[in-house]
Amino acid sequence: MSLQPRRWQPPKATPRAREKHSEPPMPAVQRIEVPGEGPEDVVVAADGRVVAGLANGALVAVDPGEGTVEQIGHTDGRPLGLHANSDGSLLICDAERGLLRLDKPGGQITVLVDEIGGVPLNFTSNVFADGDTVYFTESTRRWKLDEYMGDMLEHSETGRLLRRHPDGRVETLVGELKFANGLVLAPDRSCVLVAETGGYSITRYWLSGDKAGTHDYFVENLPGFPDNMGLGSDGLVWVALVTPRNPLLDMLLPLPGLLRRLVWAIPQRLQPKPARTVWVQAFDFEGNLIHDLQREGTDYAMVTGVAEQDGVIYLGSLTETAIGLTRVP
């Protein structure tokens, strides 16, 4: 696909974007190997197991205490963001097949949404449920998962926050998002938070109150690229930061598109690679940074998913063959 660059002036990166570890440091990351690559998102199921979807389409449940792994389903696509319901069912954003539901471990998979207005979903990314109402994101309407860097360079701003009503009707709550990604619903149901990976920010869509139906920024000018998010047992919003801000990309985004087209034309093996790091942050619902945990990505990297449970932090990755496990220091 040909690149159609949009010019955008990113906010000036903070000094934190150039640092490679946090203070206090993130504790060492333990690996729990899974039978495949790319456990992109991680969620804690009702039975305490950690669930992830792999690049080969498998859905796996991991017992973090024993390290045992069970395949609980297969999407025949590429599962990304997940939401574990209290009844044992699982909602899945599959980058290729749309919004899916697994009724129980080892059960049947149903397609909930695969098109809107007759147009197939292009890149469904993350999901959260409030009873029978489901919020989910489409990262970009132009690029597929295996070419996500195309959207980072193009800056298409075609991401969407979507809501599926119990009767199956789907509406767009916010469009023109900069690579819409992770989702969190506030415990009081006042708002939905959505990560804008390409905007280094988290957008807040108000569901109730005087601002209902409008959106603003929850957090701006993050030091890295936010991906999936999770509501922790501590009541905080945990955010996976895939990689630090890239100075070259920041320099190119405000300039005419020719330079970005030249970068995209370079063979993929020669294009700039994301810096290896392990990085998560946690915010309260006032937008205050409570935890900032980072270490160099020597043993684990490209963290795209995070789930916190009783001080234990589970990590997902687009490229690793394991779920990561660390702790709040």
Which residues contact residue 117 at a Cβ distance below 8 angstroms, ignoring those fewer than 6 apart?
A: none
Domain assignment present for residue 64? The answer is yes
pLDDT (mean) for 214-234: 98
Residue 270 has pLDDT above 80, yes or no: no
E strands in 131-169 = 133-138, 159-164
Global confidence as pTM: 0.96
Cβ neighbors of 299 (< 8 A, separation 6 or more) are: 28, 29, 31
**pLDDT tens, residue by residue, 274-314:** 899 999 999 999 999 999 999 999 999 999 999 999 999 99
- What is the per-residue pLDDT across 112-136, written as a single tens digit (0 to 9) for each? 999 999 999 999 999 999 999 999 9
Tokens of 193: 């938070």
- Asked, for residue 44, whether it belongs to a domain, the answer is yes
Which DSSP letter does residue 1 get?
-
pLDDT digits (tens, 9 = 90+) for 226-239: 999 999 999 999 99
Q: Is residue 3 part of a domain?
A: no
The answer to whether residue 26 is domain-embedded is no
- Domains in the chain, number: 1
User: Do the domain assignments include residue 205?
Assistant: yes
Here the CATH number for the domain that contains residue 120 is 2.120.10.30
- Is 208 a residue whose pLDDT tops 80? yes
Note whether residue 172 is domain-resident.
yes
* Residue range of the domain that includes 194: 36-327
Does residue 25 sit within a domain?
no
